[in-house]
Structure 1
């Protein structure tokens, strides 16, 4: 599993990293909250092991950013010297999945990380298919359908759409979508990702009548959510959530 370790103490980071690497995990390290957020904006991880007391942005603030921008994933484990019950309750209520107090025992830490990853790991898609409401993405054959009717997508459009549908409810950054589809980060002024999103809104008919809503996450990227469809037996909508206005980009040009 891919783990981001956020720890400013080099000795602590080395001890934790060595223990988790021996269990087969890939460890990335950030020495501040700001660097952790910067890493998470363009990289996907399964777990964040997070110290509370960090220089600048605190671990608790990093947790708030993760849950506000990335949703339920990745899992977050606090590894901290803060032992007060009020701190533990506050962290868990704010969205942390686990809380381990320093000094820690390596065997226990590895066991807790393993148990947490088993609980929160993404479910494998049956038959290599991603199904959300009336949408089905066949990852092996690389085709998509809506209500059983095939939808023509380019290779890059499929990569972007399939990833969004595989991560319903999670905010996905433009940088991550660019890495998935183009294999690299694009220039900060590039509108290529936005152009593909604009086309996908139209090709896939991404609106509440089909049970989904694609929202723009300000300065970050996009999030796809499932919504309740309008009741067949009644003209009253089952879900009161307003439909997001379709973005109108007069500047959009075909992507190269």
Structure 2
């Protein structure tokens, strides 16, 4: 397995390398995010170990680039001195696979690296595909299909829905969604996020009959969740009035707010 260490402090970089290399993995070290991007564009890696505080490009910005450009792989492990709970939550919700605060313990780093690489191996067996409900998202080809039919999406719409697919079932704040999709927190008065949410709901036909629902949770954010398809049970017509067709509005899932 190939591991990229992105750390501007040579002492910390060597410390991490000395722990990971004996596990039998190939190690490549770079000192900033821009060097990491150049490498990741041209070479495959299974795991990126990254510090948050880097020159020219922060570790969080590198995480954003990886998830937007490369999808769910490689795995990303933050090893950083930023220890506030808000920082940890922000990184994990934005797509980090794990988070370790410096100074790390050798046994703990070994355990985290092994777990992430085992997970990466299982993910590679599926070729970057995420199956949810009646949908298949291909993070390599950057496509989404519903029952085998490809859905046309803009690059930004794909970035947005891919982030939800990678966090299925999680409640995601507007801040995390905007940073992970646009690389920055959007102005609170902007309707950009709402517009994109509306478009992906419409294009993907996200509804229980297709196995997924994208819900707005007031003041909190959004959640894409798997739901059982509804089964329509025909009712015998009344002797007093003809059977009425099911109205489209009856199929609208509860709590689904179109903005």
Q: Given that residues 212 and 225 in structure 1 are in contact (C-alpha distance below 8 angstroms), is that contact kept between their aligned partners in structure 2?
A: yes
Correspondences of 1:44-193 after superposition (within 5 Å): 44-49=95-100, 106-118=105-117, 123-124=123-124, 126-193=126-193
Residue 33 of structure 1 aligns with which residue? 85
TM-score of the pair, normalised by structure 1: 0.54
Q: Given that residues 213 and 244 in structure 1 are in contact (C-alpha distance below 8 angstroms), is that contact kept between their aligned partners in structure 2?
A: no
Q: Secondary structure at the match of 1:126?
A: coil
Q: Given that residues 19 and 110 in structure 1 are in contact (C-alpha distance below 8 angstroms), is that contact kept between their aligned partners in structure 2?
A: no
Mapped partners of 2:149, 2:113: distance in 1: 41
Change (3 A) 1:118 1:198: same
Mapped partners of 1:28, 1:107: distance in 2: 14
Residue 238 of structure 1 aligns with which residue? none
User: In the TM superposition, what is the alpha-carbon distance from 1:45 to its structure 2 partner?
Assistant: 1.9
Q: Given that residues 41 and 175 in structure 1 are in contact (C-alpha distance below 8 angstroms), is that contact kept between their aligned partners in structure 2?
A: no
Aligned residues: 179
Deviation string for 1:177-216 (max 9, x for gaps)? 3334333332233221121111211211111111112123
RMSD: 3.9
- When Rg is computed on C-alpha atoms for both structures, the one with the higher figure is 2
Q: Given that residues 215 and 257 in structure 2 are in contact (C-alpha distance below 8 angstroms), is that contact kept between their aligned partners in structure 1?
A: no
Change (3 A) 1:170 1:50: farther
Residue 244 of structure 1 aligns with which residue? 254
User: In the TM superposition, what is the alpha-carbon distance from 1:153 to its structure 2 partner?
Assistant: 1.7
Deviation string for 1:142-201 (max 9, x for gaps)? 332212223222221111112212332233333343334333332233221121111211
Residue 214 of structure 1 aligns with which residue? 214
Q: Given that residues 92 and 98 in structure 2 are in contact (C-alpha distance below 8 angstroms), is that contact kept between their aligned partners in structure 1?
A: no
Q: Structure 1 unaligned runs (5+)? A: 4-14, 52-78, 80-103, 236-241, 250-256
Mapped partners of 1:217, 1:21: distance in 2: 43
Residue 194 of structure 1 aligns with which residue? 194
